[in-house]
Amino acid sequence: MSTFDRDDYCFACGPRNPIGLKLQIQKTDEGAKTVFIPRKEYQGFHKVLHGGITATLLDEVMVWAAFLHGYPVATAKLEITFRRPIAVETPITAYARLLDIRDRRIHAEAIAEQNGKKVAQARAILARITSK
């Protein structure tokens, strides 16, 4: 078994993970998109989504943007900018797109919006996974 085999228990997208986010991610022309309604169990401050969950959301949509366009990857570097508090129990739309593809590195960016406003954004360097 490889470290990268799927068993549907991914915290972010695994449908079998009972405590996971269960993100359903769709392919777009430029990358990927998902809509997520965070439960209260994912809050940090009262009624505000925990930053780690936001980071997971943005990371996952970027990885899937690469995967859905034929590039299996793992995150090598992730930078996040939090623009405003994100409410729990309110839909968040996250978009990702691939910016640059070179050899084993892919640069990507993601944006999260809530109520029509940008609430967070991220950039990542994704490392392509190759078989040995």
**Confidence class for position 55, pLDDT limits 50, 70, 90:** very high
Does 12 map to a domain? no
90-118 tens-digit pLDDT: 999 999 999 999 989 999 999 999 999 99
Does 34 map to a domain? yes
Does 4 map to a domain? no
Does 9 map to a domain? no
Indicate if the pLDDT at residue 50 is higher than 50: yes
Six-digit token string for 99: 């910016």
Averaged over 8-22, what is the pLDDT? 91
CATH of the domain at 50: 3.10.129.10
Single pTM value for the model: 0.93
Residue with tokens 């996040």: 80
131 in Cβ contact with 89 (< 8 Å): no
Indicate if the pLDDT at residue 5 is higher than 90: no
Does 81 map to a domain? yes
CA distances from 79 to 1, 26, 46, 75 (A): 31, 23, 25, 11
Q: Give the per-residue pLDDT at 1.
A: 40
Does 16 map to a domain? no
Give the total number of structural domains in the chain: 1
Q: Give the per-residue pLDDT at 6.
A: 74
Q: Give the per-residue pLDDT at 81.
A: 98
